[in-house]
Amino acid sequence: MRHSSQHGIDPYAVSWSLDDETLQCKAMPGKTPVPTRRGPRNAATTGRGNGRRAAGATGPSPGLTREGIVQAALALVAADGLAGLSTRKLGQRLGCEAMSIYHHFPSKQHLLDAMVDASVGALEWPDAALPAAEQLRQTMHAYRRMAHRQPALFPLLALHRLNTPTGVRFIERILGLVRKLVPDAEKAARHFRTIGYFLVGAALDETAGYAKGPSAAEPVSNDFIARECPHLMASARWFQSSEWDATFELGVQAMMAAVLRDAAAISGPGPDSARPRSR
C-alpha cells in the first residue's frame, strides 16, 4: 500500500504498440497527454474506408466498454504477463480493431490505472459491524487474496501510487480503521506504513519472488548450502508454499499486537481494542 503524495507526469512508458503504427502519448507539464501517430496510416493498413476490419480483428465489436476492456486486459496479463499486454492482443481478445481501445483509454498508463483500480476495488471488505481490530485483521487477509487473484499484475499494483479516486479511497478506508484503534495521527500513520511494508512484501514474495524471482547465473548447489549454511538448511522446509498461510498469520498477529499495544496505551482497553481472533 503506497501513498499518493506527488502529482505530475509519471515516468511510465505510455505507448501502444500496434502492427504497423505506434500511438504515443506525449506528456507536457500540467496537460493531459496528447496522442500523436507515427508510421503509415491509410485504408490499406487500417482497413478503414473499405468496409473491412483491420488485420488481427476476430469479429464485430459492438458494445465495447471500458469495463470489458479492463477485464480482457486482466485476463491477458494473467496469461501473458504485463510484458504481453498490447492493443493488438487486446483487440484479438475483444474482436475489435486495436485503435478502438484508444477511444476508451488514451494511453497504456490509463488502462493500467484502470486495471489497478479494478483489482483494488474488488477487495473483500469485512463486515463494518465487526470490531475495528477484527476488521483490520480481516482486511490484511483480504489484501493478500487480492494479490493472489492477479499475481502477474501485483508487482505493478504494489508500486503504484494509488493516486486515483479509487486508490485514495482505498488508502483512506484502511487509515480509518487504524485511526479507530489508534487515534493519535502520527502513530496511526506509522502503523499504516508498517502494515503496508508487511503486506506488500509478503504479497510480492508469494506472487513474484522467492522461487519465482530472478536467479543467479550460477546458483549454489544443495551440497554447498548443506555445508556452508546450516541454519538455512534447517529452515528450508518452512519456506515452502505450503507453509505460507501460517507464516502470513504470524505476521498479521505481530502487526495487530503492535497496533493494540498503542491503542491500549492511548485510551486503555475497550471494545474496539479487543484482541482479534486468530485465523
Coil vs helix vs strand at 36: strand
Tens-place pLDDT, residues 136-146: 999 999 999 99
DSSP class of 267: H
Tell me where in the chain the CATH 1.10.357.10 domain(s) lie: 126-273
Tens-place pLDDT, residues 26-55: 333 444 444 444 443 443 344 443 333 444
Q: Return the CATH class of domain 126-273.
A: mainly alpha
Q: Residue 63's pLDDT is what?
A: 82
Cα separations in angstroms, 269 against 58, 60, 175 = 62, 62, 20
Are 76 and 112 in contact by the 8 Å Cβ rule? The answer is: no
CATH architecture of 16-119: Orthogonal Bundle (1.10)
d(CA 100, CA 190): 45
Tell me where in the chain the CATH 1.10.10.60 domain(s) lie: 16-119
Tens-place pLDDT, residues 203-253: 999 999 877 888 999 999 999 999 999 999 999 999 999 999 999 999 999
Q: Residue 271's pLDDT is what?
A: 47
Cβ neighbors of 108 (< 8 A, separation 6 or more) are 12, 13, 14, 15, 16, 25, 85
Q: Which of 107, 139, 108 is nearest to 124 (CA)?
A: 139
Containing H/E element for 265?
A: helix 244-267
For residue 87, how far is the Cα from the chain centroid?
20
Residue 75, C-alpha cell as written in the block: 485476463
